[in-house]
Amino acid sequence: MATSHRKRMVDQPGFWGFLFICPWLIGFLCFTAGPMLTSFWLSFHKYDLVSIQNVGVENYRRLFTEDPLFWKALKNTIFYALVSVPLGIIGSLSIALLLNQNVRGQKLFRVCFYLPSLVPAVASALVWQWVFNSDNGILNTMLRMVGITGPQWLQDERATPWAFALMSLWGVGGGRMVIFLAGLQNISDSYYEAAKIDGASPWRCFRCVTMPLLSPVMFFNLILGVIGAFQIFTSAYVITGGGPNHASLYYALYLFQNAFEYFKFGKASAMAWVLFCILLCLTLIQFWTSKRWVYYEGGDK
C-alpha cells in the first residue's frame, strides 16, 4: 500500500519539479515570505524589541499626518528617481550603443566600462566624497578652471540632491548597460540594411529601427531602474548620513534609522509596506502605459 502510494507521488507531473526547486522554495518561504508577513503584522504594532502592543493603524496614521520627515524622505526619493532614472537610462544606452560599434579593442572597452560596477558600494561612495569635496574635489577644481565656483556639494542642502543624482551615474556601465547591449545585438542587421537602402540617416535608423525594437528592453530597465532608485541607501548612509538638514534623507535610510537606530520596528514595518504599495502602483502604471510604446517583435504580446 505504502509503496503504491509513493509511486503515485513520484509519478505526479509536478513532483520532480517541486523537488528540484525545493531549496529555493524553502529559502523563499523562510527568509523572504516569512519576514514579509511578519513585517506586515508588525506594522500594526508598537514594537521596540522588548514589549509589543497592538495599536491598529496608528503607525500609518502617524506617518501620514504627524511625521514631516516621512514626507521629506519621500520627496527626496522621488526627486532622486526623477533625475537619476532618465539620466541612468540615457547613460547606459549611450554606452551600450558605443560598445556595440565594431572597433578594435571592443572587448577591452566593454571590460573597462563594466569595471566601476564591480567596486563595492561603500568604496565608491568614499571616492565620490572626494570628487564632491567643494574645496579640493576634482569636480569643483574643473569648474573653477572654466570660471565657475562650484557649490558646497555635500554641505549645502540645495546642492546635495543633485550630487546624489550625479553619483548614480557610477552605475551606468553596470548590469543595465549589459542588458541594453544584449538587446542591441538581438536586432537583426537586415533592418538596418533595408533602412539604409531607403536612404535613412543614422539618426532615423536609431529612432525608427533601434528604439522600437529595443523598447521591451527599455521597459524592463525602466521598471528595475525605478525600483532601484526608490531603494537608494548605501551612498547616503556612508557619505552624509542623511544630511545636510535631511537633504539626503532617503526613504530607505529613514526606514533603517527608525528600525535599527531608534528601535521603532512597527513604524519601520509600516514604512516598508507603504514603499511596497508605492512601487506596486508605479509598476502597474508603467505596465499600463507600456501598451502604447513597447513593441514586441513578432506579435501583440
Partner 1 sequence: MFNRPRLLLKSLAILVGILAVGCSSDPFAGKVQIRYMAWGNPEQMALEERLCDEFNQKNPDVHVSFLKVPAAEYGLKMMLMLASHSAPDVMRVDHYNFPRLVKKGYFHDLTDLAAQDPTFHREDFFPQAIQECLYNDKLYGLNVLFGGVLIYYNKSMFREAGLEDPAELAKNGNWTWERFRDSAMRMSQKGPDGRYTRFGFGAPSSGSTFPVLACAIWGYGGDMLDPKLQHAVFDQPGSVKAFQMLADFRWKDHCSPTQAQGENSLYTFESGKLGMVFDFMGMTPRYRKVIHKFDWDVCPVPSGPFGHTTLCKGNQLVMDAETKHPKEAWRFERFITSQSTEQELYVDLRRCFPTRKAMAYSKAYLQTSKPPFNNWAFVDAIEHSRPLPINDRWSEWTNAFNSEIDNLIAGRERDAGVVLKRAKQKVDKVLADEEGF
State how far the Cα of 275 lies from the Cα of 270, in Å rounded to an integer. Answer: 9
Residue 264 binds to partner 1 (criterion: CB under 8 A) = yes
Binding track, positions 221-260, relative to partner 1; x by CB under 8 A: ---------------------xxxxx----------x--x
Among 18, 262, 287, 293, binds partner 1 (CB under 8 A): 262
Judged by CB under 8 A, does residue 136 bind partner 1?
Answer: yes
Write down the least CB distance from residue 36 to partner 1, Å.
Answer: 19
Q: Return d(Cα 255, Cα 131) in angstroms, integer.
A: 28
Tell me which residue has cell 572626494: 130
Q: Any contact of residue 77 with partner 1 (CB under 8 A)? A: no
Read off φ and ψ for residue 45, nearest 5 degrees. Answer: -130, 160
What span, in angstroms and rounded, lies between the C-alpha atoms of 239 and 223? 27
Q: Which of 275, 299, 290, 239 is nearest to 63 (CA)?
A: 275
Hey, what's the cell of 160?
546635495
- Which of 173, 178, 276 is CA-nearest to residue 227? 276
Among 9, 10, 49, 108, binds partner 1 (CB under 8 A): 49
Give the x/- contact pattern for partner 1 in 170-209, rule: CB under 8 A. ----------------------------------------
Nearer to partner 1, 195 or 247 (CB): 247
Q: Which of 135, 189, 198, 300 binds partner 1 (CB under 8 A)?
A: 135
With contacts defined by CB under 8 A, name the span among 153-161, 176-184, 189-197, 216-224 that binds partner 1.
153-161
Q: Give me the least distance between CB of 281 and partner 1, in Å please.
A: 26
85 within 8 A of 222, measured Cβ to Cβ: yes
Count of residues of this chain found to bind partner 1 when the rule CB under 8 A is applied: 34
User: Minimal CA–CA distance to 167: which of 128, 134, 120?
Assistant: 128
- Does 145 interact with partner 1 (rule: CB under 8 A)? no
Nearest to partner 1 of 262, 296 (CB atom)? 262
> Around 185, how many Cα atoms within 13 Å sit in the side-chain half-sphere?
11
H-type alpha helices, 147-301:
160-167, 175-186, 189-197, 202-205, 211-230, 234-239, 251-256, 265-293
- Measure the CA–CA gap between 32 and 25, rounded to whole angstroms: 10
Should residue 48 be labelled a site residue for partner 1 when binding is judged by CB under 8 A?
yes
Q: How far is the CB of 243 from partner 1 (least distance, A)?
A: 5
Under the criterion CB under 8 A, does residue 125 sit at the interface with partner 1? no
- For partner 1, the closer of residues 216 and 244 by Cβ is 244
Q: What is the Cα Rg of the chain in Å?
A: 24
Give me the least distance between CB of 76 and partner 1, in Å please: 13
For position 43 contacting partner 1 by CB under 8 A, the verdict is: no
What totals of helices (H) and strands (E) does the chain contain, helices first?
16, 2
Q: Is 143 in the site for partner 1 (CB under 8 A)?
A: no
Which residues would be at the binding site for partner 1 (CB under 8 A)? 46-51, 53, 58-59, 62, 129-130, 133-136, 152, 154-157, 242-246, 257, 260-264, 266-267
